[in-house]
Chains A and B, each alone.
Chain A
Amino acid sequence: MKPPRQRVVVAVLWALLLTAPFWVGTLGGYTELATRVLVMALAAMALNFLLGFTGTLSFGHAAYFGLAGYGAGMTIKFLVPSTGLAMLVGVAVGTLSAMIIGALIVKLRGVYFAMVTIAFGQVFYFIAFRWNAVTGGDDGLTGWKRQPIDLLFTRIDILGNDRAFYYFVLFVFALCVIAMGLLLRSPFGRTLIAIRENERRSEFLGIPIEQHLWLSFVISCFFVSVAGTLYALLNNFIDPRALRWDQSGNFVIMAVLGGMRSFWGPLVGAAVFVVLQDYVSSQTENWMSFVGLVFVLVVLFFPRGVLGIIRRRLSA
């Protein structure tokens, strides 16, 4: 059972997310910005499934994020104009790649694991960058748009209506986040936390480490793929930078900034990151140095992240 205070915080969080399109405007934001926060938050929380709850750092999650985005965009552009199908294809492409690459790298640990994930990410980046005819190369994949969603009796215009798209993204976000939360509270989830806490003890309790690490990696990449498809749909566009190592690094920054030991931390980190990016980049081209400064300050003074501080205040 969670302490009541923590439940209140989570309830407030959901209330804020549910009402965001109605108040972001008064704070100088806009609906699309809120949507971007959600998409990045999903990616950062997915990464944190592996980083914060299995104790393994991947520096190449953008590969699956971007692959899924390309999968979704290409499906709409070349195959069928259906948002749902585009997401299915995108997530399948991202997850399948993660299954194959994951199997090749689960023997590695620590910095070696992180380095190899970067290397694989860069392979996909260069493919997207060079294969002009299919991916659009450096210019990105254009000439397609997300499609309205037809339900049985009604049609949701996620293309023309920003708010409708926000709620569509929030719906997918909620499904993913609830699924991750339940997984982490299951017996399987506890084996992952066990591995994070003490790999040797876990192995000698009968957990085949590589199998569980692979599963965690694939689950994490599945959810980052979902985020990738939403990212492509949000922009009606995807380019090779979505798969590049610096995008992977941004996910890590979001997770660490918000607090990688807490489930909701990466959401807070993503919000800070995306909003900073939006405001500061309109003032100066060097917005990244501001993000970097904030990041260094947080890591130095609040190693448990932004949510870590808030939580300590609450429990004190």
Chain B
Amino acid sequence: MSLLEVKDVSRHFGSLVAVDHVSLAVEPGELRAVIGPNGAGKTTFFNMISGLFPPTAGQILFDGRDVTQLTPAERVAMGMARTFQITEIFPELTVRENLRVPVEIAAGMRLMPWLAPARRETIEARVMELLAMGNLAAKADRLVGELSHGDQRATEIMMALALKPRLLLLDEPTAGMGDQETYDITRLIRKLHRDQRLSIVLIEHDMRVIFHLAERIMVLAEGAVLAEGTPADIAANDKVQAAYLGKAA
């Protein structure tokens, strides 16, 4: 059974058709990339999967359950986590505090009005683990708002991971990054996918990143699926070439 199954979803904004009858199935442990020119509807597609708004038509199944009308928080509780194209973090809190919130939520403590010392240690250990994984340990007590763009992105990804998701949705994780930062984030994503067999769906613009990471690629253009296949298939696809070149020219 697929972990995520998107069946024929569409989304209209007034007369604009942002996403037009798109389907997608993601298997457990798969890393799937979604690419496409600007305005292809990639982020709209993501927003429907994660629950920011419901589709106009179609159905979304997660783990075999219909989640089409569930709230984002309910989807998170089922094991879905996401990052945003424009980093969404808690800028005036430290990196440690940013991570602590999702770690405590994952431990089922979001309504807990106190914290027993024994559990505090478990929480802190988990936060340390995530700090190390994201290469953020040295900056743990800095305010996230003061960090570099790359470190903010890394923090956001670690926050999503802190939730122990089964499906991670990454919306352009390397957007606006320099070469070194792009490389670091790519390596981090690859490690998560390899070591933890985490299922990942990734929107990306940087072709190097995509061909480095993805097993299968879905190409969206003007809201519809243009092509789907392995990186080699996509690279050889004339329609994809045209869509991208047309945009570039």
A residues apposed to B, CB below 8 Å: 182-183, 186-191, 193-194, 197-198, 200-209, 212, 215
Contact = CB atoms under 8 A, between A and B. Distances in A.
22 contacts: A182-B114, A186-B112, A186-B113, A187-B104, A187-B115, A188-B110, A190-B97, A193-B90, A194-B101, A200-B88, A202-B101, A204-B50, A205-B76, A205-B102, A205-B105, A206-B72, A206-B73, A206-B105, A206-B110, A207-B110, A209-B73, A212-B110
Nearest to A193: B93
B109 interface: yes
B93 A197 contact: yes
Nearest to B77: A206
Contacts of A207: 73, 105, 110
Contact of A197 (B50, B92, B102, B105): B92
A125 to B, nearest CB: 32
B101 A205 contact: yes
A178 to B, nearest CB: 12
Given A191-B105, A201-B90, A186 B73 contact: no
A188 B90 contact: no
Given A204-B72, A209-B73, 10 more contacts: A187-B105, A193-B90, A201-B89, A201-B90, A201-B159, A204-B73, A204-B81, A204-B82, A205-B101, A205-B102
A94 B92 CA distance: 33
A194 B92 CA distance: 10
Interface string B150-173: 000000000100010000000000
Given A188-B113, A205-B163, A206-B110, A198 B90 contact: yes
Interface in B21-77: 50, 71-74, 76-77
B111 interface: yes
Nearest to A179: B113
A308 B152 CA distance: 27
B100 interface: yes
Contacts of A194: 90, 93, 101
The range of chain B's interface size is: 20 to 34
Contacts of A202: 101
A204 B111 contact: no
Contacts of B93: 193-194, 197
B91 interface: yes
B91 A197 contact: yes
Nearest to A212: B110
Nearest to B119: A187
A201 B88 CA distance: 6
A285 B152 CA distance: 54
Nearest to B111: A188
A194 B89 CA distance: 9
Nearest to B87: A201
B72 A191 contact: no
Given A193-B93, A204-B81, A186 B115 contact: yes
A203 B100 contact: no
Contact of A187 (B82, B88, B91, B109): B109
A206 B163 contact: yes
A183 B163 contact: no
Contacts of B89: 198, 201
Contacts of B163: 205-206
Looking at A189, A198, A206, the one whose CB has the most chain B CB atoms below 10 A away is A206
A208 B71 contact: yes
A191 B71 CA distance: 17
Residue with the highest number of chain A CB atoms closer than 10 Å, among B72, B81, B93, B97: B72
B72 A203 contact: yes
Contacts of B113: 182-183, 186, 188-189
A208 B159 CA distance: 17
A96 B1 CA distance: 48
Which 3 residue pairs of A and B lie closest in terms of their CB atoms, listed nearest first? A206-B76, A197-B90, A201-B88
